[in-house]
């Protein structure tokens, strides 16, 4: 089988999808050897992202297999961490993200999978995403286009991915054409892009830092209010002093007497503001607007 145009260029791929759709088998089919653990199982066999390399059709191909991490509508911290880990494993970035979907099992989560990915990464990740169907043997005498035409939700997902899709029959490992045709489609898409591989923008990368800054600033603000409250309600017991000569005492009183009324007035005002009746108002009108402004800053 001849390599496609530009085959000497390396190719980096990330496999994403729900648990049990055949991502590991796809990786083995692409690399043409058993690199990832693939078997029928009720539990996920891939527990963390794995990277494997091979020379396929004369080019260096890197495949990153991932656990079933897209089974939720709202990505949690673990899902985000695993997706970012997968991207880091094919540094400087994947040429394509293969969204693996099992034929005949298009779930509600898969309908919104691009929305989930865009929440984790950024809005342009769809430009680098290709839908890859598994269990191609289930089509029998039906073409892939005919199968897609029967489901509008599936059509919508494929349109979000730039109408890029392909199908694998992972049980037919001798069929090298299915892999070469995938490479041809991917090379065609890569050739049309100004940026050949996916890289998170600096703005997207900074969001995680902004989130950390937000919680640090919120904790600092809460600590500041607590400190003011403690100081304002502290017991003001006079501190014992050593006897001082009358002349020295007169000089000290002259230097500080102008400051005493101002300091007492300030703490009396803070004590009045932070008493039990007003404490809730201080938290609401002080901390809440501050947190709101910080959240607005994070979105910029």
Query: Which one has a higher pLDDT value, 48 or 235?
Result: 48
Query: Which one has a higher pLDDT value, 243 or 113?
Result: 113
**pLDDT value, residue 158:** 93
**pLDDT value, residue 115:** 83
Does pLDDT of 9 surpass 80? Answer: yes
**pLDDT value, residue 1:** 44
What lies within 8 Å, CB to CB, of 151 at 6+ separation is 106
Most confident range (mean pLDDT) of 145-154, 219-228, 285-294 is 145-154
Does pLDDT of 200 surpass 90? Answer: no
**pLDDT value, residue 21:** 87
| Residue range 16-63, pLDDT digits in tens | 988 888 899 999 999 999 888 765 544 455 568 899 999 999 999 999
**pLDDT value, residue 110:** 82
Query: Which one has a higher pLDDT value, 177 or 286?
Result: 177
**pLDDT value, residue 220:** 63
The percentage of residues in the chain with a pLDDT greater than 90, rounded to a whole number, is 30
CATH superfamily of 11-200: P-loop containing nucleotide triphosphate hydrolases (3.40.50.300)
Given pLDDT bands bounded at 50, 70 and 90, which one contains residue 254? low
Among the ranges given (10-14, 191-195, 245-249), the one the predictor scored with the smallest mean pLDDT: 245-249
| Residue range 131-166, pLDDT digits in tens | 999 999 888 888 999 999 999 999 999 998 889 999
Given pLDDT bands bounded at 50, 70 and 90, which one contains residue 78? confident
**pLDDT value, residue 230:** 52
Give the strand order in the sheet containing 50-56. 50-56, 59-65, 11-17, 96-102, 129-134, 165-167
Given pLDDT bands bounded at 50, 70 and 90, which one contains residue 122? confident
Residue among 241, 240, 224 at smallest CA distance from 232? 224
Strands (E), 1-147: 11-17, 50-56, 59-65, 96-102, 129-134
What lies within 8 Å, CB to CB, of 164 at 6+ separation is 129, 130, 131, 158, 185, 189
Domain extents in the chain: 11-200, 204-298
Query: Which one has a higher pLDDT value, 217 or 178?
Result: 178
Contact between residue 286 and residue 225 where contact means Cβ atoms under 8 Å apart: yes
**pLDDT value, residue 210:** 46
**Directed axis angle between helix 113-120 and helix 77-89, to 10°?**
80
**pLDDT value, residue 72:** 57
Mean pLDDT over each residue of the chain, to the nearest integer: 75
Does pLDDT of 268 surpass 80? Answer: no
| Residue range 85-110, pLDDT digits in tens | 999 998 899 999 999 999 887 878 78
């Amino acid at each position: 089988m001849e390599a496609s145009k530009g085959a000497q260029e390396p190719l980096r791929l990330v496999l994403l999808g729900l648990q049990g759709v055949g991502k590991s088998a796809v990786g083995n089919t692409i690399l043409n050897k058993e690199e990832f653990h693939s078997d029928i199982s009720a539990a996920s066999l891939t527990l963390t992202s794995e990277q494997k390399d091979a020379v396929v059709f004369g080019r260096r191909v890197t495949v990153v297999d991932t656990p079933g991490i897209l089974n939720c509508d709202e990505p949690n911290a673990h899902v985000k961490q695993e997706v970012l880990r997968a991207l880091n494993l094919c540094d400087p970035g994947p040429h394509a993200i293969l969204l693996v979907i099992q034929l005949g099992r298009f779930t509600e989560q898969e309908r919104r999978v691009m929305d989930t990915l865009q929440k984790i990464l950024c809005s342009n990740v769809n430009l680098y995403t290709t839908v890859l169907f598994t269990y191609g043997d289930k089509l029998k005498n039906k073409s892939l286009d005919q199968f897609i035409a029967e489901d509008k939700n599936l059509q919508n997902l494929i349109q979000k991915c730039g109408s890029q899709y392909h199908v694998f029959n992972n049980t037919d490992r001798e069929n090298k054409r299915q892999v070469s045709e995938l490479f041809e489609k991917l090379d065609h898409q890569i050739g049309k892009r100004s940026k050949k591989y996916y890289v998170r923008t600096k703005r997207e990368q900074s969001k995680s830092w902004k989130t950390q800054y937000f919680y640090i600033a919120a904790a600092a603000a809460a600590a500041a209010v607590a400190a003011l409250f403690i100081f304002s309600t502290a017991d003001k017991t006079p501190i014992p002093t050593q006897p001082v000569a009358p002349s020295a005492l007169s000089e000290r009183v002259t230097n500080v007497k102008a400051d005493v009324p101002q300091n007492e007035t300030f703490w009396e005002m803070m004590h009045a503001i932070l008493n039990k009746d007003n404490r809730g108002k201080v938290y609401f009108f002080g901390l809440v607007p501050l947190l709101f402004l910080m959240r607005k800053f994070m979105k910029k």
